[in-house]
A and B are shown apart, each in its own frame.
Chain A
Amino acid sequence: MAAAFEYRQAEEIRDVFARHGIRYLFIGKSGAILLGFPDTTQDADLFADKSQENCSALIVALRDLGFTLTDEQASEILRGKDFVQLKNGPFDLDLVFAPDGIERFDDAWNRRVEVERFPVCHPDDIIASKEAANRVKDRESLPRLRAFRDYWKNRR
């Protein structure tokens, strides 16, 4: 089991992904935390563009970050999975290519928020994906997340 995700690792994702031109966004609670939401989570969740070009670059970037992807695992990412869970690197990472509640990557990309050069889904998209996922843990976190969204919008 990897240790808790650290800020320097978020910076590594940002810098390595930028170097490889990856199109991605922080999503889920990890995205909300980057926006200022005070809460806890375990994993970093990234919403990545599913294009072949992006996925090819993503595999190289993940290996640069220290993930030990086998060729078979890499080919699964290339084949266009909707969800990939990685626990074979320096930190745990969930890659989401088709989050519930968000129609297209480009839509979320156009609405993204940059926080210290971290590309983050707009809080409306984070909330939309949690509403659509509708798991017990989502339903528990949504009221506070909606209150944060309102607070965040008022501050801008």
Chain B
Amino acid sequence: MDQSPAAVRKDWLEEFEAAARRPLSQRVKYAFIRTYKPVLDDAEFRAFDTMAEYREWCETNLPEWLGYGR
């Protein structure tokens, strides 16, 4: 399969065109998924004074593979 930047960009454009043909309700239906995220999903409420505090909490507490680190 062609993985050149031009080919990837062409694939993306085709996906954008296809999405544009679907109604919003259908786009939302297939866009939102639910999987358990360890630690992140284990509390019902969290509040952080600053975004920096939130980012630091994510880096310290969340598994790296979740992708919340910098």
Which of A's residues lie within 8 Å of B, judged by CB?
Answer: 1-7, 10, 30, 33-34, 36-42, 44, 69, 73, 76-77, 81-88, 92, 96, 98-100, 115-116, 133-137, 140, 144, 147-148, 151-152, 155
Contacts and interface: CB of A to CB of B under 8 A. Distances in A.
A136 B69 contact: yes
Nearest to B65: A136
Nearest to A132: B51
Range, interface on chain B: 35 or more
Interface of B: 9, 12-13, 15-16, 18-20, 24-25, 27-37, 40-41, 43-51, 53-55, 58, 66-70
Contacts, number: 124
A142 B40 CA distance: 23
B69 A135 contact: yes
Nearest to B26: A7
Contacts of A155: 20
